[in-house]
């Protein structure tokens, strides 16, 4: 067990290095991860199953402990990032596939990485988990609708087909993970501890596959895509903190809202891009997967060193991994 835990910790600790290595490998050897593209929905389903295994019934009850903050946070999650993505696509005059890809990142819900970063930043983890949970279950409706609204000027969008995809590769695996965790609980601790490493490996494969399929596109417009992804993430982080301040949230909740808005479920964006648009549309999300795992730890480290009144921080007994 100790050996397994060390292996899982090792894989998770060097997540950014693995993803960068896979991106470089895929860029120079485009066939290395060619097998990945058809398997992206399956890989994302595994990641979402892992998310479901970390959830408990109390996470849904927590939504009703501070419903105003959770609803406002989820509203900001979708509206701010969607509008910022649209604005960046217009300002930089992106081609249709890349514009759709950037907007998909913006219209997706928050990812579970935001919960970990909020914990490290000494933010309100309960609020972060509640927003992630609510926004994830709103995604089948809001992601297709917002994608159609904001990306429709560049590329045709079938919201119903996208709705079905999100239910199949996100909602169903999460519910399955939640049910298994609720029934078996601590008796499957080994599986639960292994899933974060499986999720990391799945994301690494996805990034390698998307980069390999779009090596030519990255040569011609790689710098621009990186710039837009970085701006999208940083503007989202800043907007979340600013809006939290304007509505009078405490410091811990402002940090949670900032990180929750700035960090997206880029894996879902990759899967939807490949399934409904083109591999090229998945480039922004693949790059976002790498970048927000750089910016997230940086801002979390800054806030953790800055400190906070411990009374403001409502933490669960165990941090999400």
Longest distance between any two alpha carbons in the chain, whole Å? 53
Residue owning tokens 């050996």: 3
- The predicted structure's pLDDT at residue 158: 92
Q: Do residues 111 and 199 lie in contact, with contact meaning Cβ atoms separated by under 8 Å?
A: no
Q: Do residues 70 and 127 lie in contact, with contact meaning Cβ atoms separated by under 8 Å?
A: yes
- The predicted structure's pLDDT at residue 308: 65
Q: Is the pLDDT of residue 83 over 90?
A: yes
Structure-model confidence comparison of residues 91 and 1, the more confident one: 91
pLDDT in tens, 220-249: 777 898 899 999 999 999 999 999 999 888
Cα separation, 317 vs 119, whole angstroms: 11
Q: Is the pLDDT of residue 319 over 50?
A: no
Tell me what the mean pLDDT of segment 72-80 comes to. 92
Cα separation, 237 vs 250, whole angstroms: 16
Tell me what the mean pLDDT of segment 281-285 comes to. 88
The pTM (predicted TM-score) of the whole model is 0.84
Q: Is the pLDDT of residue 321 over 50?
A: no
Residue owning tokens 């579970």: 112
Q: Is the pLDDT of residue 159 over 50?
A: yes
Q: Is the pLDDT of residue 309 over 70?
A: no
Among candidate residues 290, 286, 291, 294, the one with its CA nearest the CA of residue 215 = 286
Q: Is the pLDDT of residue 47 over 80?
A: yes
State the chain's mean pLDDT as an integer. 85
| DSSP states of 39-68 | GHHHHHHHHHHHHHHH--HHHHHHHTTSHH
Contacts of 145 (CB under 8 A, 6+ apart): 159
Q: Do residues 243 and 255 lie in contact, with contact meaning Cβ atoms separated by under 8 Å?
A: no
Q: Is 35 exposed, middle or buried (0-12, 13-18, 19+ CB in 10 A)?
A: exposed
Q: Is the pLDDT of residue 199 over 90?
A: no
Highest mean pLDDT of the ranges 81-95, 186-200, 261-275, 285-299: 81-95
Q: Is the pLDDT of residue 313 over 70?
A: no
Cα separation, 34 vs 38, whole angstroms: 9
Cα separation, 166 vs 278, whole angstroms: 17
pLDDT in tens, 95-135: 999 999 999 999 999 877 788 888 888 888 888 888 998 99
Q: What are phi and psi of 95, to 5 degrees?
A: -65, 160
Classify each residue of 176-209 as buried b or exposed e, where b means 16 or more C-beta atoms within 10 Å of its C-beta.
ebbebbeeeeeeeeeebbbbbbbbbbbbbbbbbb
Q: Is the pLDDT of residue 93 over 70?
A: yes
Among candidate residues 54, 268, 314, 77, the one with its CA nearest the CA of residue 170 = 268
Q: Which domains does the chain have, with CATH numbers?
A: 39-306 (1.20.1530.20)
**Local confidence band at 209 (pLDDT 50, 70, 90 cut-offs):** confident
**Local confidence band at 147 (pLDDT 50, 70, 90 cut-offs):** very high
Q: Do residues 205 and 16 lie in contact, with contact meaning Cβ atoms separated by under 8 Å?
A: no
């Amino acid at each position: 067990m100790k050996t397994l835990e060390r292996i899982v910790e090792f894989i998770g600790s060097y997540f950014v290095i693995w993803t960068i290595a896979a991106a470089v490998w895929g860029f120079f050897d485009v066939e290395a991860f060619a097998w990945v593209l058809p398997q992206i929905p399956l890989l994302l389903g595994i990641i979402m199953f892992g998310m479901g295994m970390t959830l408990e019934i109390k996470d849904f009850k927590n939504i009703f402990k501070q419903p105003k903050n959770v609803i406002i946070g989820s509203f900001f999650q979708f509206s701010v990032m969607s509008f910022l993505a649209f604005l960046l696509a217009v300002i930089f005059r992106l081609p249709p596939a890349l514009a759709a890809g950037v907007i998909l990142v913006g219209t997706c819900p928050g990812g579970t990485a935001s919960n970990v970063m909020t914990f490290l930043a000494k933010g309100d983890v309960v609020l972060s988990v509640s927003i992630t949970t609510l926004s994830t279950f709103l995604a089948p409706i809001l992601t297709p609708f917002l994608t159609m609204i904001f990306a429709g000027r560049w590329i045709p969008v079938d919201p119903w087909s996208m709705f079905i995809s999100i239910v199949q590769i996100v909602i169903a695996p999460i519910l399955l993970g939640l049910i298994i965790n609720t029934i078996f609980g601590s008796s499957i601790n080994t599986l639960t501890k292994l899933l974060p490493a499986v999720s990391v490996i799945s994301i690494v494969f996805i990034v390698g596959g998307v980069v390999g399929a779009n090596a030519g596109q990255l040569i011609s417009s790689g710098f621009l895509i990186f710039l837009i992804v970085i701006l999208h993430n940083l503007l989202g982080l800043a907007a979340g903190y600013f809006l939290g301040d304007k509505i009078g949230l405490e410091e811990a909740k402002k940090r949670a809202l900032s990180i929750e808005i700035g960090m997206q479920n880029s894996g879902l964006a990759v899967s939807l891009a490949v399934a409904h648009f083109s591999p090229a549309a998945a480039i922004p999300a693949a790059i976002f997967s790498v970048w927000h795992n750089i910016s997230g730890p940086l801002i979390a480290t800054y806030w953790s060193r800055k400190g906070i009144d411990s009374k403001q921080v409502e933490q669960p007994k165990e941090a999400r991994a």
